[in-house]
């Protein structure tokens, strides 16, 4: 549905940015498997908060929101930041107020599903959570926590416990329209049981996604806390700038992260302005293949593509 929404936007004369907005917005309405939009990924207080960004590869303008509350259409608010402000990123309660002032309805993002995920987490001693080096021992107890003089090496953290394909995902889209305009965007409700205030990679330009109409675009999904340190979408676009094949550009962006975090969970999709595309993912026990969708104009439908992780 999200790809049909994006494609029909292009067919009715919309620009690439319009298609990215419509495609991601459809996912926010459909909740895309619970990982995008309202009612998913409750934080430590049971709230759902949203992160989104949109980038126009012609003007290099970006609009983004992080830790957005009460508003379902996060990509729409990101677009509004781009269209109606000189800023790039608005966050938290103030971003929600901005959205409401512009006419986005304030709604409750909780659902019975998000409430049951939250209650289950509480009943299992707040496991898993994202704390480290605190007391009481976060792998056994709920907070409130205080700093402890223990320094766990972050690389030894068991990432897959918290960050798996089942509880963390993002919609990322790259669109190239018939005039060669490139746009990219992302939308997510972030990481399950995140510490309130946590913002992942999705609304960070160059991390969640990146677009440049001279080159192409890229978008990422996975462990945003790790991936945002490497700006993999920016990196992939920069690799493609010199004519590198999109699949190879994606693979190289993944490899750079893996050098430091061998077991990180993540994937990148890449497309260049000639319409070639590819994807790559970091191979781990829980993820050996990555599925992504490509709209095929001649078949007039979305086709599922699969790559083997590297």
Ligand X SMILES: *[C@@H]1O[C@H](CO)[C@@H](O)[C@H](O)[C@H]1NC(C)=O
Tokens of 104: 């986005």
Tell me the C-alpha distance between 70 and 85, whole Å.
Answer: 21
Binding residue for ligand X, selected from 59, 125, 255, 274, defined by CB under 6 A: 274
Per the annotation, does 199 bind a ligand? Answer: yes
Per the annotation, does 208 bind a ligand? Answer: no
Among candidate residues 170, 188, 247, 274, the one labeled active-site is 170
CA distances from 275 to 182, 237, 294, 296, 305 (A): 11, 14, 11, 11, 15
Per the annotation, does 224 bind a ligand? Answer: yes
Q: Which residues pair with 304 in a beta bridge?
A: 293
Binding residue for ligand X, selected from 273, 293, 294, 309, defined by CB under 6 A: 273
Q: Is 276 in the site for ligand X (CB under 6 A)?
A: yes
How many binding residues for ligand X (CB under 6 A)?
Answer: 7
Tell me the C-alpha distance between 244 and 240, whole Å.
Answer: 5
Tokens of 193: 């049981």
Based on the residue annotation, tell me whether 88 is a catalytic residue of this protein.
no
Tokens of 90: 């608005």
According to CB under 6 A, which residues from 196 to 255 bind ligand X?
A: 243, 245-246
Closer CB to ligand X, residue 162 or residue 271? 271
Q: Is 272 in the site for ligand X (CB under 6 A)?
A: yes
Closer CB to ligand X, residue 172 or residue 246? 246
Closer CB to ligand X, residue 172 or residue 216? 216
Closer CB to ligand X, residue 114 or residue 272? 272
- The CB-of-217 to ligand X minimum distance in angstroms stands at 12
Q: Which residues pair with 50 in a beta bridge?
A: 68
Secondary structure of 109-162 as H, E, C letters: CCCHHHHHHHHHHHHCCCCCCCCCCEECCCCCCCCCCEECCCCCCHHHCCHHHH
Per the annotation, does 221 bind a ligand? Answer: yes
Tokens of 150: 């223990």
Closer CB to ligand X, residue 121 or residue 234? 234
Measured in degrees and rounded to the nearest 5, phi and psi for residue 139 equal: -80, -5
Per the annotation, does 201 bind a ligand? Answer: yes
Which range touches ligand X (CB under 6 A), out of 85-93, 221-229, 251-259, 267-275?
A: 267-275
Q: Which residues pair with 161 in a beta bridge?
A: none
Which range touches ligand X (CB under 6 A), out of 55-63, 202-210, 266-274, 292-300?
A: 266-274
According to CB under 6 A, which residues from 118 to 137 bind ligand X?
A: none
The residues that are catalytic are 170
Binding-site members for substrate are: 198-201, 221-224
Residues that bind ligand X (CB under 6 A): 243, 245-246, 272-274, 276
């Amino acid at each position: 549905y999200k790809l049909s929404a994006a494609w029909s936007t292009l067919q009715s004369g919309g620009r690439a940015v319009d298609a990215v907005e419509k495609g991601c917005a459809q996912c926010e309405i459909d909740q895309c498997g619970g990982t995008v939009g309202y009612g998913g990924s409750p934080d430590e207080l049971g709230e759902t908060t949203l992160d989104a960004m949109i980038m126009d590869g012609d003007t290099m303008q970006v609009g983004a929101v992080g830790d957005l509350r009460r508003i379902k259409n996060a990509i729409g608010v990101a677009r509004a930041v781009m269209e109606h402000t000189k800023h790039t990123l608005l966050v938290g309660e103030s971003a929600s107020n901005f959205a409401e002032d512009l006419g986005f309805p304030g709604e409750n993002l909780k659902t019975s599903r998000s409430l049951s995920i939250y209650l289950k987490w509480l009943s299992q001693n707040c496991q898993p959570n994202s704390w480290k080096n605190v007391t009481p021992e976060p792998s056994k107890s709920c907070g409130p926590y205080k700093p402890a003089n223990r320094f766990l090496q972050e690389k030894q953290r068991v990432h897959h416990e918290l960050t798996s394909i089942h509880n963390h995902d993002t919609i990322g889209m790259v669109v190239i329209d018939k005039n060669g305009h490139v746009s990219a965007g992302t939308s997510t409700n972030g990481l399950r049981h995140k510490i309130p205030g946590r913002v992942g990679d999705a609304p960070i330009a160059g991390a969640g996604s990146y677009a440049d109409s001279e080159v192409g675009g890229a978008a990422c999904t996975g462990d945003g806390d790790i991936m945002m340190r490497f700006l993999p979408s920016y990196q992939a676009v920069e690799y493609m700038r010199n004519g590198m094949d999109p699949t190879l550009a994606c693979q190289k962006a993944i490899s750079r992260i893996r050098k430091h975090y061998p077991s990180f969970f993540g994937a990148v999709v890449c497309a260049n302005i000639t319409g070639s595309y590819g994807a790559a993912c970091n191979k781990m026990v829980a993820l050996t293949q990555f599925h992504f969708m490509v709209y095929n104009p001649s078949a007039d439908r979305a086709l599922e593509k699969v790559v083997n992780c590297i």
